[in-house]
Amino acid sequence: MDRYGNDIWNYAYFLTKDRELAKDIAQEVFIKAYYSIHTFRGQSTLKTWLLTITRNTAFRSKRSAFLRKVKLLAYVPSGKTMPSAEQESLDKQVVDDIWKVIMDLPQKYREVLTLDMHYGLSMDEMAQLLKVAAGTVKSRLHRARGKVEQKLKEVRL
């Protein structure tokens, strides 16, 4: 729980868009993992296995949405010096614009972007988690990035 608790909660929140439900799901995931650790075959990483349990648990709750808590600041270029208050405000606006665009994407695109950017999963890990072919993941990721880029250009005009 110490190692993956935040990742599990973040992913649950991404899928439910409800903080309290995400907490419940995260707790349920670790309870399920504890009772079924003997079924873990080691064909994936422990993190991927936990994220799969999280996804299945969240989908069973009949809710899906998008995680706004994930921080994209690592993907926004920054200078070497301390930014001014104005620059911090502009950076925050850029991040907000990016998430607004991402939130408007269909869920299959939002999900692969989050799994790639925030969780750093490989194509194979995402394919296993989403239960689709690696080529499908690659295609969705490419399309998602293209859609985000296109929308951001429209927003900036």
Q: Are 70 and 22 in contact (CB under 8 A)?
A: no
- HSE-CB at 87 with a 13 A cutoff on CA atoms is 10
Q: Are 134 and 80 in contact (CB under 8 A)?
A: no
Confidence of residue 65 (pLDDT cuts 50, 70, 90): very low
Average pLDDT over residues 132-157: 86
Which domains, from first to last, does the chain contain?
Answer: 5-60 (1.10.1740.10), 73-156 (1.10.10.10)
pLDDT tens-digit readout, 98-133:
777 887 888 889 889 888 887 888 899 999 989 999
Average pLDDT over residues 61-90: 53
Q: Are 69 and 26 in contact (CB under 8 A)?
A: no
Please state the pTM of the whole predicted model. 0.51
Tell me the C-alpha distance between 56 and 128, whole Å. Answer: 13
Please return the burial class of 91, using the count of CB atoms within 10 Å of its CB with bins 0-12, 13-18 and 19+: middle
